[in-house]
Structure 1
């Protein structure tokens, strides 16, 4: 059972966890992987763009994209736990009204989510057991760009996810993480008209950026 089941999501990502993430963002800004994702999107052009973030948490990526010229953002979450902190961060940034927080599973109900120029998934694909259904929905909602992060399918990635899941079992939590094959994930997006435009291979997190049509 992954985070795509609200029961696992609510117990794993609580309001206390949301407060921790918000404090960290206020103190340190984006984590390194998220910053690289934002930089890729900015390089490709986000002025006036609409943004859809799947699993957006407290919305720090949305805030940074809005600051860089995006017109509006929608963050989809499976739990309401992040809502209050997301609203506080938006207010602190003077961006209230330019982003929406919705509790919605795009993989289970694609028609209930809005389309956008840009779709972002940071540390989200590894929470879904059915990456094909998730990424198919993502591709169908992306007008121009998609960027997502995922753990590498190597020994380090497998050990990290294996330890995480062992801890979850010992704590009797329902949440599980997954290491999906990177090439297969890209194939789902390629089949729907997106082409790789950026790749970053880190030790613990990798980034894939794609765009409509042939990469520049």
Structure 2
């Protein structure tokens, strides 16, 4: 799902995740082949975006040599390829949209990483956590804001992280609320079921901490924030 556009529900604090069904088509309609091509072409020409580079740098600082990587909603997998280049041994990508697969295969071949990357479609980690093996580091870039139940998703992700977890999300301020609220309205008018969510950052950190990881990194940008945590128990 890499590339969450960040629209928010009108009242995210009163949102009931139980009303949502995690339907892959909801994500496929937004994160389609055209979206994938735009992301991968930009990466091939210019490399990682600054936010993505900060994610890679944090995990490299936490220790990547021989590490396994699990990325939830990693899109075409550009972050994983950079982590492998920085010393990780292997990566696994969970994706609900199948629109990234052709571009991901091309990037893997280009990077010479065939055999070190596995990709799984249709796996909802929050719904079926036992279907996925733990990994040393877990990444959720622009994903939590696309998922209704942040506690279930982050709880499952943190529970799978043996060393560290890092995730990004939009800031929760007036400007972003106005922007993403308009985005949700456009989705509704266009007949699309996709919605985005602006979850409470402190509450998300509490979920990660409850799984034995302590905050170790925070970065605040105008469009995205990053939180990283390392395992202490």
**Correspondence for 1:47:** 65
Q: TM (normalized to structure 1)? A: 0.95
Say whether the 8 Å CA contact 1:3–1:128 is kept in structure 2.
Answer: no
Partner residue, 1:60: 78
Query: C-alpha distance in 2, partners of 1:191/1:162?
Result: 30
CA distance 1:113–1:13, change in 2 (3 Å): same
* TM-score relative to the length of structure 2: 0.89
Deviation at 1:106, TM superposition (A): 0.4
Tell me whether 1:97 sits opposite 2:97 in the alignment: no
C-alpha contact (below 8 Å) 1:49/1:71 kept by paired residues: yes
Indicate conservation of the 8 Å contact 1:54/1:120, yes or no.
yes
How many aligned positions are there? 214
Q: Which runs of 5+ in 1 are unaligned?
A: none
How far apart, CA to CA, are the structure 2 residues paired with 1:3 and 1:144?
31
Query: 1:213: how far off?
Result: 1.1
- Which aligned pairs between 1:165-184 and structure 2 lie closer than 5 A? 165-184=184-203
Query: Following superposition of structure 1 onto structure 2, how do residues 103-118 of structure 1 map, counting pairs within 5 Å?
Result: 103=121, 104-118=123-137
Partner Cα distance (2:56, 2:178) in 1:
28
Query: Cα distance 1:122–1:3, how it changes in 2: closer, same or farther (>3 A)?
Result: farther
Deviates more, 1:56-65 or 1:108-117: 108-117
> Residue 115 of structure 1: CA displacement?
0.8
Equivalents in 2 of 1:2, 1:147: separation in Å? 25
The list of structure 1 runs, each at least 4 consecutive aligned residues, that deviate by more than 2 angstroms after superposition, is 1-5
Instruction: Considering Cα pairs closer than 8 Å and 6+ residues apart, tell me whether 1 or 2 has the greater RCO.
Output: 2
Aligned match of 1:131 = 150
Tell me how far apart the structure 1 counterparts of residues 188 and 40 of structure 2 sit (CA, whole Å): 27
Report how far residue 2 of structure 1 moved: 7.4
Q: Where does the alignment leave 5 or more consecutive residues of structure 2 unmatched?
A: 1-18
